[in-house]
Structure 1
């Protein structure tokens, strides 16, 4: 364990991956080919194995609070997987013990040789130097044995082994993205939870779109699948990510969606799970897709919902892509047939056709720059999706949400935003009782921490009515924000 992936280094240090990336950019933590050396991590975090209540724990808590709950969060790996990981750990420990024994034997031989040379010619100055070297080697070995139980590197090794039993790290080629497989989840479930856009269709082993090739590591099947891999594919190491889990750390060759254009257009017959009034003119809809179909989308995109009577409307998704079976939307009352049916006739269990996704205002996942989300009126829906995704992937330096609204229900997601603010050091939230772009930008500039980055160094995600967005974009440009740093979507 001389080198660690960024995700594993963050886990061991008890900090977020974004924190590790920030320290790398500042030059505090050297890397080589995307990995961190153990000795360098120990220099930066000398007490890391003693610090278990850090930003990582806070992120875990906020994921439980702000994101859809998942039954697998507390699940242990299956007995077969645990046995496999323990076997791998045993093999690694045997190899380490063998290497240590060989090193000890070599040192014994060196020490004995030095003693023999020093005793043969004690009067000669060069041999007196050998005697000093012999005494130094003996003292150093005694000291190393006395310090071994408290050695930070040894404790880090022990902690890493415990974590390897509970979760396996998966690195994808050619992107280099990595994530952890925990509990009894499949490789695909773990990738989706981590915000990695692996290719898949049904998520139940029917379509075969989640094929991936195992480059290194051990995997195990956890679900039967109807899709049949060819003999040649099996010989080459292909598996279905939805039906297999990681026994050990893996390197996989897999297809990922790198942009919104890479996602297929989908049609899913979902059912209404719940409708909740958020105000006199606003309701939230929670749709559940069939077990055999999961909606693939990127945070910030929208879909078209069509009711049984043919009424339809395009709406932005308000949930993290990490849960593509439980879809959330906010619907404002209006004169159109869709809104009329939603407010009057829609009942739990009613079928709703979901078509999409559309839209290219999505989170820039590769940039660690601070992100500022500005919602005006009903613009909170797509930005909520983006923020939940940003928390899930844990790659952005900081997140700020500014929400201005004059609607009668006010800031109906304030409880969600406050939960994020209380649990994440790098998240800020400001609720404004107006929708005036010029005033909002003035307040944003005034509230900026003098030590923080300039307005032009952040990336901006805007959502709201078209006329207000035009003014908002013009104001950002006047304050020196480059056009490529601004993404927007109309609501």
Structure 2
């Protein structure tokens, strides 16, 4: 029987990104069977797969860890003892079943061989027939003996073949990964993510960029309720929210209070558009202020542990200080950590800007309202081109971090143009992504005109209409770039823009 793996698990085993697997599939190098790939195909495309971790995969995980702070301070590298024991028991049971099935198949093969030998002997013992009949009988007996010998030879060849050894090695690594983490497949969306260490299902989903419904994240509101379709879970903490008896019978649980023991299938609603997210008001605090060159301030805002902001990458939020001034700003961080939010603010004459640059201090309260806007990632895997104009890098940064987190886009290219004499304030972040991700390119520009930008795009990209474009910055500049792309043949449906004026 062909061994099949989900795309996410295949990517982990091969030490590549999920987007890389999808690219191979689109180019016809691998086949899919109901959204899964065969181990034999994986080994053919990645023959060097071994039990050792791939450096590329480790670098990708490292950049994710550095880009997105954890939403809690617990040690989540290893599962709890109870979860580890349960996973090992489940794998042992699966191994016993697999061994029993193999032994049964081997016994069946021996019985078939024995039956073939008996039939060959019976055919050879016939006497008194005509010479022609004896010749035919002898030929049939020899054919049966040849078939029996072929079965034995084939059995030996399969047991000793390098392909079988490589598959065994891959399955061994898969078993190890299943001890360290469990995969969760969402129904009906089909999205898949991994629960690592001692984190809850909800924490793992948010870290992976999924837009599940949740509220307090501490077991009080019941907003993160989901139905367990298959698999085994372990309760990490008690919760105050009371499930009805009918809900318990149907398999409902709170994802904030449970972790995955084995691979799971969960039925839960996900937000598919900005309209699916409710407006939230959260009492947060200023965690840190980082002045930058050119009159720019990085504003770090932290929400309470029990009330994180649900938003989509590229959206905005309104910040209101205790003494009244407020301003709506793009969120410059990934939704995978809705508790630690980053905003960029350019110094100006308005009351909010003056307060931030002159009087606001860390730990000062701030009221957070949002999210707003529909400048979000499309649910697509084509290569993405991000064009940031000036301070438009803020929402673009959020989009890119989220795209890296969900690992579904084939390739990224960031073009960032700033007016002279400004600097590219997030350039270290851009360089880190470029050095870490093989499919990420960064082109810094200064006062780039539309014609120059179009010439760069045509030089760097194989075909302009085959990409998706995300453009953010001052309104007039964004409109000019959008018009240039449309004139170059890019469909309107492949362009998303955010005007920051």
User: TM above 0.5, one fold?
Assistant: yes
Check if 1:342 corresponds to 2:356: yes
In structure 2, the residue corresponding to 1:401 is in which secondary structure? strand
**Of 294, 297, 304, the match for 1:283:** 297
Check if 1:22 corresponds to 2:23: yes
Cα separation, 1, equivalents of 2:420 and 2:198: 44
CA shift, 1:61, in A, is: 2.2
Q: List aligned pairs for 1:40-439, cutoff 5 A.
A: 40-49=41-50, 52-53=53-54, 55-69=56-70, 75-122=77-124, 124-147=138-161, 151-364=165-378, 366-406=379-419, 408-439=421-452
1:226-254 deviation line (CA, Å, top 9, x unaligned): 21111111111000111111110011100
Cα separation, 1, equivalents of 2:74 and 2:56: 22
Cα separation, 1, equivalents of 2:457 and 2:339: 36
Cα separation, 2, equivalents of 1:312 and 1:438: 38
CA shift, 1:54, in A, is: 5.3
Q: Which residue of 2 aligns with 1:5?
A: 6
Q: Which residue of 1 aligns with 2:493?
A: 484
2:227–2:268 Cα contact (<8 Å) kept = yes
Cα distance change of structure 1 residues 435 and 137 upon mapping to structure 2, 3 Å threshold:
closer
1:148–1:154 Cα contact (<8 Å) kept = no
Mark the runs of 5 or more structure 2 residues left unpaired by the alignment: 125-133
Q: Which residue of 2 aligns with 1:472?
A: 481
CA shift, 1:478, in A, is: 1.4
In structure 2, the residue corresponding to 1:23 is in which secondary structure? helix
Cα separation, 2, equivalents of 1:240 and 1:465: 43
Cα separation, 2, equivalents of 1:407 and 1:72: 45
Cα distance change of structure 1 residues 94 and 51 upon mapping to structure 2, 3 Å threshold:
closer
- Bigger drift between 48-57 and 385-394 goes to 48-57
Cα distance change of structure 1 residues 3 and 143 upon mapping to structure 2, 3 Å threshold:
closer
In structure 2, the residue corresponding to 1:206 is in which secondary structure? coil
Cα distance change of structure 1 residues 435 and 146 upon mapping to structure 2, 3 Å threshold:
closer
- Bigger drift between 277-286 and 144-153 goes to 144-153
Cα separation, 2, equivalents of 1:357 and 1:145: 58
- Bigger drift between 201-210 and 261-270 goes to 201-210
Cα distance change of structure 1 residues 259 and 69 upon mapping to structure 2, 3 Å threshold:
same
2:14–2:54 Cα contact (<8 Å) kept = no
- Bigger drift between 308-317 and 48-57 goes to 48-57
Cα separation, 2, equivalents of 1:24 and 1:263: 33
- Bigger drift between 69-78 and 196-205 goes to 69-78
In structure 2, the residue corresponding to 1:96 is in which secondary structure? helix
Q: Which residue of 1 aligns with 2:128?
A: none
**Of 435, 455, 459, the match for 2:468:** 459
1:438–1:471 Cα contact (<8 Å) kept = no
CA shift, 1:90, in A, is: 0.9
2:70–2:337 Cα contact (<8 Å) kept = no
- Bigger drift between 207-216 and 43-52 goes to 43-52
Cα distance change of structure 1 residues 407 and 316 upon mapping to structure 2, 3 Å threshold:
farther
Q: Which residue of 2 aligns with 1:38?
A: 39
Cα separation, 2, equivalents of 1:467 and 1:278: 25
Cα distance change of structure 1 residues 119 and 372 upon mapping to structure 2, 3 Å threshold:
same
In structure 2, the residue corresponding to 1:400 is in which secondary structure? strand
CA shift, 1:330, in A, is: 0.6
Cα separation, 1, equivalents of 2:488 and 2:220: 52
TM-score (norm 2): 0.93
Number of aligned residue pairs: give it: 486
